[in-house]
Amino acid sequence: MCELLGMSANVPTDILFSFTGLMQRGGGTGPHRDGWGIAFYEGRGLRLFQDPAASIDSEVAKLVQRYPIKSETVIGHIRQANVGQVSLANTHPFVRELWGRNWCFAHNGQLADFAPPPVFYRPVGDTDSETAFCDLLNRVRSAFPEPVPAEVLLPVLVAACAEYRSKGVFNCLLSNGDWLFTFCSTKLAQITRRAPFGPAQLKDTELTVDFQAETTPNDVVTVLATEPLTANETWQLHRPGEWTLWRRGERVAYGRV
């Protein structure tokens, strides 16, 4: 299995604190040694750092930790391989362009007997995760050749996720930079931080940050992770079948299938 990390915020926010916690699980406090990746939206551009090396040993991960990047939408992942060898091509998150936007996706879980026909988007590597991402985009493009708002798109996303979930475990994060869509098949935790901000203490390494000192009173920052990342805060646990659309840190639509 793998671990996911997502962020949606209403101001460009540094995810360094959460990233540091997650990276410990890549061979340190967790067994996810088979690569990691993190994607930061920067305007319409997307900055993607990835490494098939364990995050705890990764030079690229050290760069990301030394060089905090602020973003409103982030998708990260650490991998413990089940389907597909350990390689860069099999490292999440995966990216494709649709409607002139960068779509980014990461998955936790495993799908059995899943071999959709290769249509337009095709996997480069050989993971079930990238195959599902391509299938999802093929469904979206087939339903909507031209751009539609996220709210119009949601039924297609939710129906696809419900179908993938029926084939195994499918926790996922998906974004086009404007919004972040999350689906919980078995495990997904979330915290929305807003004023008054307080200190937060990582579970996986000795690090505390006082968000009060780093934020303004209007900031809203939602962080999603497979398991809660901090020890002194109350995380919301999503229920199986729960999907949510986040925009600028706020939950703007949700439901359960």
CB of 159 to a copy of itself, least distance (A): 23
User: What is the rounded CA–CA span in Å between residue 233 and residue 23?
Assistant: 19
Minimum CB distance to a copy of itself, residue 153 (Å): 17
* Dist CA 133 CA 93 (whole Å): 10
Helix (H) / strand (E) containing 20: helix 16-24
Nearer to a copy of itself, 180 or 224 (CB): 180
Q: Cα 143 to the chain's mean position, in Å? A: 24
Structural contact between residues 220 and 248, judged by C-beta atoms closer than 8 angstroms:
yes
Q: Return d(Cα 91, Cα 82) in angstroms, integer.
A: 12
Alpha helices in 173-225 (DSSP H): 211-214
Please say if 184 is a catalytic residue: no
How many beta carbons lie within 10 A of that of residue 213, not counting itself?
8
Nearest residue (CB) to a copy of itself, 47 versus 256 = 47
**Binding region for a copy of itself (CB under 8 A):** 42-48, 50, 52, 59-60, 63, 66-67, 87-91, 95-97, 99-102, 118, 120-125
Q: Phi and psi (nearest 5°) for 64?
A: -60, -35
Q: Which of 16, 60, 44, 35 is nearest to 229 (CA)?
A: 16
Distance (Å, whole) CA 220 – CA 13: 10
Catalytic residues: 2
